[in-house]
A and B are shown apart, each in its own frame.
Chain A
Amino acid sequence: MNKRKIYIGIMKGAMYFCTSLTALLVLFLFGYVLIKGIPNITWELLSTKPSYLAGRIGILPDILNTIYIVIATLIVVLPLGVGAAVYLNEYALNKKVVELIEYAAETLSGIPSIIYGLVGMLLFSNNFGTSILAGALTLVIMNLPTVMRTTQESLKTVPQSYREGAFGLGAGKWRVIRTVVLPGCLDGVITGCILSIGRIIGESAALLFTAGFAHAINDFFTGLTSPGATLTVALYVYAKEEGEFAVAFAIAAILMILTLLINLSTTMVGKYFAKRRNI
């Protein structure tokens, strides 16, 4: 009897201890980075580019590069990912092909980003030069499984009767997909977008050798063809190579705030579409 009580006590204690440890860890990480970082975020930091002459560091180019790379990646990855999901859910009849594609997607999502970086360097940077475009194309391969999976999941929730109704009215397959299936998977596409944005913003290893670490201010189209550091790469360079911890923490705080916003919007999108479905 006593042995049993001890066992229960230990297990209960371990559960409470580990859960509080996890909670404290999250609190500490966010608290520490935000407290150390927010005081260092100044207007000058956000609105200028680094200049050795003036002895200042500005992260405007890195912010712009991050936005460019997000836009460029999404433009390419969305049609590819959504198309693949539509094929799997609407067209594919051969079970072997479906399994092959799903296995490939799982494999892709398990490959570490440093390997994407290397392959991206061989495939894209050697052809287009070290540039935002090469970085974005590398990230396309990385995010393909994410967009595909979220779209596929929401395609499954489009009721079969909608498709049958449209077919019954004499619509061809493509018309059904365009007018019934695609509008129905909007929530999956949006969720995929948000998750991809989160991953792109947080990515660094895959971008070091494909997009480089320049800090020049460019417009979108010159930006694509020239090298540039995103916020995470800039953080790495400032912290590891230059020892500029104040700037590194400012960037880290910005990244943490973006992480919060991205998480918040995923939940909100989920809730919004769940509500709309129930009506």
Chain B
Amino acid sequence: MKKNKIFEDIVHGIFLILGLITVGCVVLITIYLIISGLPAIKEIGLINFLFGKQWASTAAEPKFGILPFILTSIYGTSGAIVIGVPIGFFTAVYLSKVANKKVRNIMETSVNLLAGIPSVVYGLVGMLILVPAIRKIFKVPDGASLLAAIIVLAIMILPNIIKVSITSLDAVPKEYEDASYALGASSTETFFRVSVPAAKSGIAAAVVLGVGRAIGEAMAVMMVAGNVANMPSLFQSVRFLTTAVSSEMAYSSPGSLQRNALFSIALVLYIFIMLINATLNFFLKRDKEK
């Protein structure tokens, strides 16, 4: 009997360790990013690093200011949200409330497919269609620009926004809508004035999720944004926080200030993501409590 107890305890212990691995991973990632990100910030100075307007990592007199990257990431993400959220929102309302079962099934499959497309494929299509189109339509010398990145990101966050919004719109109690009908509102009015406000926490969560996806995307942006460390402007070639890391990582030598600065950029990006995650959790929790 005692032997059995010990055996069960060992199994329990093994499962506990497996359960705690996720926590270990988060701790490990955080520690590694802080340890490798701090030295360069110390050397450059926090203010110079965060608010320096010039990035010239390989110049004779190197400059490591990442304000252009931070602003580009913020502008790019906001742009993607401004375009992607309304489209995703109206699509979600239609699919959740208006569409018949067949249309909804087909569209949900399509949205899942959209979510499954690898980001390099988005990048490739953007490179060959969007970039030349922007060059021709707006008569700029190079179409690889912030605008191209915004459009690609808007498409990439669309499935997340649609899926999360549909889930929360579906969860609105039918009584709310019935009450609205009884007061003489038409179906469209009911959806937008009753169902949507009732689902607003979930929709907010969808938007925050979109922000997280957009700010973290690297490969697709790398292929369409042109990748020059300019201050952000719609038709200029720009570099995001993510692409700043990936574009110089391959040729920076280990231990150099340049590489350490790249790790510091990753740390800044990580802090952004953590803030976004906290916001997301706030909205999701509020949604659940209701």
Give the distance to chain B from A123, nearest Cβ to Cβ, in Å.
7
Chain A 63-86 against B: per-residue CB contact (8 Å), 1 yes, 0 no? 000000000000000011001101
Is the Cβ of A110 less than 8 Å from the Cβ of B7? Answer: no
Which of B47-55, B64-72, B88-96, B132-140 lies at the interface with chain A? B88-96
Residues of B within 8 Å of A245, CB to CB, are 124, 128
- Assembly CA distance A108 to B11 (angstroms): 26
Residue of B nearest to A253 (CB): B121
Residues of A within 8 Å of B45, CB to CB, are none
Is the Cβ of A111 less than 8 Å from the Cβ of B91? Answer: no
Residue of A nearest to B155 (CB): A25
Residues of A within 8 Å of B120, CB to CB, are 204, 232, 235-236, 239, 252, 255
Give the distance to chain B from A268, nearest Cβ to Cβ, in Å.
12
In the complex, A91 has a CB within 8 A of chain B: yes
Chain A 1-32 against B: per-residue CB contact (8 Å), 1 yes, 0 no? 00010011001101111110111011101101
- Assembly CA distance A70 to B181 (angstroms): 52
In the complex, B36 has a CB within 8 A of chain A: yes
Per the 8 Å Cβ criterion, residues 66-116 of B in contact with A are 86-91, 93-95, 98-99, 107, 109-114, 116
Residues of A within 8 Å of B58, CB to CB, are none
The contact of B188 among A12, A90, A104, by CB within 8 Å, is A12
Is the Cβ of A22 less than 8 Å from the Cβ of B91? Answer: yes
Measured as residues with beta carbon below 8 angstroms from the partner, the interface class of chain A is 35 or more
Residues of A within 8 Å of B29, CB to CB, are 111, 115-116, 119, 141
Instruction: Evaluate whether A8 and B124 lie within 8 angstroms (CB atoms) in the complex, with A88-B19, A106-B281 already known.
Output: no
Is the Cβ of B90 less than 8 Å from the Cβ of A84? Answer: no
Residue of A nearest to B243 (CB): A114
The contact of A204 among B18, B89, B111, B119, by CB within 8 Å, is B119
The contact of A29 among B93, B99, B114, B270, by CB within 8 Å, is B114
- Assembly CA distance A235 to B124 (angstroms): 8
In the complex, A122 has a CB within 8 A of chain B: yes
Is the Cβ of B94 less than 8 Å from the Cβ of A19? Answer: yes
Instruction: Evaluate whether A145 and B22 lie within 8 angstroms (CB atoms) in the complex, with A18-B90, A19-B107 already known.
Output: yes
A27, A80, A110, A263: most-surrounded residue (chain B CB, <10 A): A110
In the complex, B199 has a CB within 8 A of chain A: no
Residues of A within 8 Å of B162, CB to CB, are 22
Per the 8 Å Cβ criterion, residues 83-134 of A in contact with B are 83-84, 86-88, 90-92, 97, 100-101, 103-108, 110-119, 121-123
A selection of 13 A-B contacts at a CB cut-off of 8 Å is A22-B91, A84-B18, A87-B15, A111-B216, A112-B218, A114-B216, A119-B28, A123-B32, A202-B116, A204-B118, A204-B120, A204-B219, A235-B121
